[in-house]
Structures are given as C-alpha cells and as structure tokens.
Amino acid sequence: MKKQLLSVALVTCVGFGSLAMPSFDKTNHVSAATVTTQSNQQVVNAKADQLIATAKSLMGKSTYSTAVYKPTYPYKFSCATFLMYIFEKNGVDIATYNEDYMMQQGTPVSKGNWQKGDLLFFKSKKTGTDPDHVAMYIGDNKVIHMADSKQNIVISDLNSKPYYTDSYFGARRVLPSLLPSSPATAGDKIVSLAYELKDSATIGNVNNETQKRFTPTGFVDHVYKKNGITLNANNLASLQAKGTTVSKSNLQKGDLVFFNSVKGSKNASLVGIYAGEHRLIIPNSGGVLSRVLLVDYYQDHFITAKRVVPNKAISSPTVQLPAASTGTADTNKVVSLATSLTGKAKFGYTYDEKSLTFTGAGFTYYVYKRNGIDLKYKMASDQAKTGSSVLKSKLVQGDLLFFSTDGKRKRITQTGIYIGGNQFISLSTSGDVVKQSLSSSWSVNNYVQAKRVVK
C-alpha cells in the first residue's frame, strides 16, 4: 500500500497516505458536524475564506516535513497534511493526506477557471502517474501551500515560476461537494452525528451511552438510533444482516460498509459509515477514525454494503445546487423522451433506431436528434466537443453529461442527460435506460464534464 507510513521520509511533497492517519489534536479540532448545511455559492465562498484565513495564520509557525505530522505548535506538515489540517480545522473532512486520493474527490476544474478553495495539483517527478504536490487556490492567480523545506508555507503567483506551468497536473473543486446538503438528508444527519462523536467517543468492549463508550457495533447502533433508525444489533454479524445490499459503486451517505481481516472471508471485522465522496467513518480500537475507501486495504477487504436508511429519506441531493435545475419547454421534451424510452431502448454496439438499440452515446444522440438538436457524433468523446461547458454546480435540466467508466475520470466513454434534482438518465451497458444520482459512488468516480447543448 503506497504512502501510508509516517516513519518513511518521502521525496518532494508526496503525502503520507490514508491508512496510518494519526489522530488530530483534540483541543483544536473542529468537527465536520459544525459545517453549515447551506451549500450555496455564498456559503462556499465564506467557507473558502475561512480556509484561506487558517492557512495564512500558520505562515511562520510551521515547518516542512514529509516524515512527521505535528498538528500543534510548532507545526510540521507536508503539502498534503497542511491542507488536510486546515480543512479539518474548518469542519470539512478530506479524510486523506494522499494527493492522488484528494484528486479523486469533488469535481474537475479546467485550467484557469479556478475559484477560492479549489485544490491545484502538480507533478514534477518523471516517474509514476500520481501528482506529488498540492496547493489551495486563494484568488488573483495565487495559491497558498507548504512548498518545501526552504520556503515552508508561502503564497505563490502561478506565473512566478515555470514550475507552476510545466508541472501543473489538474485541479479539483471540493466545495460544496464535501459539505452537507440543504436541507440536510437523513444520511447527512447520521454522518454529522458520527463526526460529532469523533473526538469524544471511546471505542472498546463495553457500551455506555452516558460515558460515550461503545463497541464498534454499539457506536453504529447509537448513531442510527439517535436519528430514528433502530438496528438492535449486538455484533457485526447481526449488523451485517440488516438492511438491503447495495453495490460499492452505488453508495450513499449513511450506508454501512463492511470489511474483513482476511481476504475472501465473509465475516466482517470492521464496519464503516459511508460519508460521501469516498469517505468512511470507522469505529475501532483506535477510536472513531476518518478514512477514504480508495485505500488499497479497503478495496481488498471489502465484503458488502448495506442500506439501512429508507431510500425516501436518503435520496435527496447530496449538495444544494446554486443554480436552478428547472428546464425550459425544450429541455422538458428532451427529458420526457429519454424517460419514455425506459424499458424500450436497449444497449448494443450499434445504432438502430427501428429496434431502439444504441450505445450510451448513441442513445443521447437519438434523444437530442428527435428534439431537433444535432450532436454530430455517436461517440461519447466526440459529443464532448459540442455545446458550451458548464460547471457541475450550474447544471440545468437537459445538459449533456460525460463520464469515464474506469474510475479515472480522464477518458470519456459514457454520456448521460441531466434531468434535475441531482439526477441523470442514461442507457447503461447493463442494457437498460436508468436514472442515477450524481452523488452515487459510480457518478462521483467517473464524472468528467458537462456541456449545454440546448439553448
């Protein structure tokens, strides 16, 4: 497992990883539960300003280290732990100090279209495929970052050195993706309480709610009970038998995720509460920990996931979108036609209007064509050349969405049509026309960009 041991000194500014994350200083930590549930642009800007203020306050008080993480004065950070710390201090859980994992959260941002709070990634090493440095954009073409052992925390103009152009790797917008929705869903409330208990609960062999002492199962039982969901599980096996099974690619906030200690075993030794954007809240002997599902260990030891929160309660959008998602008459027609093809259109590596057999991109080509819009191409990567770019936070009904299918979010191979309410419709390779949430794990893992093709 890469980048996981604190005792190993790493070259340049590669982060520490995710599995061996140390606990935070409890006197300074601000729980993610304190985040406001208003995720509109005004609140996003306010949160970004808080992050920037915290980052600036650490200038002259912190030194660069890839071997030691020290979240108390005199602080010691790598570039990644520096950002992880300032987000955590302001109630936003990134849950990792691995640049590669950070880059898989939020949504991609094209070069030059950054806003305050975006994460910018750089790669100067000739080997490997992952970024090796991360900074936070603060506006006016500037970033703040833990640069190196000579500069420590500095504010840099992105035009000041060739490094920032030559080594630029990409950017991600993690606000408002990492914030609760508005209004908060049942899943948000569960996650919020779990975070609230992160620094006060003790995990061991006994349950005592008054003293906030729990077994791992008792912790989960307590969190859900406080949110009106009775599990009555006495151990991990009985907890694993609750709810309905969901795939790892379709996780939603509040789902329970189970892991074994021996590969291949069906017996769970660990349970986590899914917190969205690949994040897990895990009660174990080390306390209540925050991790990312992307870590090799969790990928290798995953058993199953269970949904114990009723779908009606959990299916609200994860993020309150700043822009309205209601459509025009034309976009309503696009969505109406796409929806009417449910149970009729089928997937196939051809384009046949008579039998309604299409690839995913063929399906979108057909739907828009029938509404007088020529996408020109029947391949997803070519369709991405049409229309005008639109931010994920600004989507409206009828926008054309583009996805990868390998979880890397680089090569466009699938399309979808945004239908409003954080939902999109597409012709899946499974053979059916399906509706899916943009907050599902598959969507988060594969979303690349969106285009507005309906005027």
Which residue ranges make up each domain of the chain?
32-173, 186-314, 329-452
pLDDT tens digits along 231-252: 999 999 999 999 999 988 889 9
Whether residue 184 contacts residue 99, with contact meaning beta carbons closer than 8 Å, is answered with no
CATH code of 329-452, in short, is 3.90.1720.10
Cα gap 43→116, rounded to integer Å:
12
Amino acid at site 14 = V
- Long-range CB pairs of 83-88 (<8 Å, 24+ gap) are 83/55, 83/119, 83/134, 83/135, 83/136, 83/145, 84/15, 85/24, 86/51, 86/54, 86/55, 86/58, 86/136, 87/51, 87/174, 87/178, 88/24, 88/29, 88/30, 88/32
Identical topology for domains 32-173 and 186-314 = yes
Whether residue 424 contacts residue 401, with contact meaning beta carbons closer than 8 Å, is answered with yes
The third-level CATH classification (topology) of the domain covering 186-314 is: endopeptidase fold (from Nostoc punctiforme) (3.90.1720)
Residue 319 phi, psi (nearest 5): -130, 135
Residue 313 pLDDT class (50, 70, 90 cuts): low
Question: Model pTM?
Answer: 0.65
Strand partners for 121: 134, 170
- More confident site: 430 or 282: 282
Task: Give the closest residue to 256 by CA, choosing from 286, 229, 281.
Answer: 281
- Whether residue 287 is predicted with pLDDT greater than 50 in this model: the reply is yes
For 32-173, the fitting CATH number among 3.90.1720.10, 2.170.190.11, 3.40.50.1860, 3.40.50.300 is 3.90.1720.10
- Whether residue 1 is predicted with pLDDT greater than 50 in this model: the reply is no
pLDDT tens digits along 391-444: 998 899 999 999 998 888 889 999 999 998 889 999 987 788 999 899 888 898
pLDDT tens digits along 186-204: 999 999 999 999 989 999 9
- Per-residue tokens: 171: 């950017």
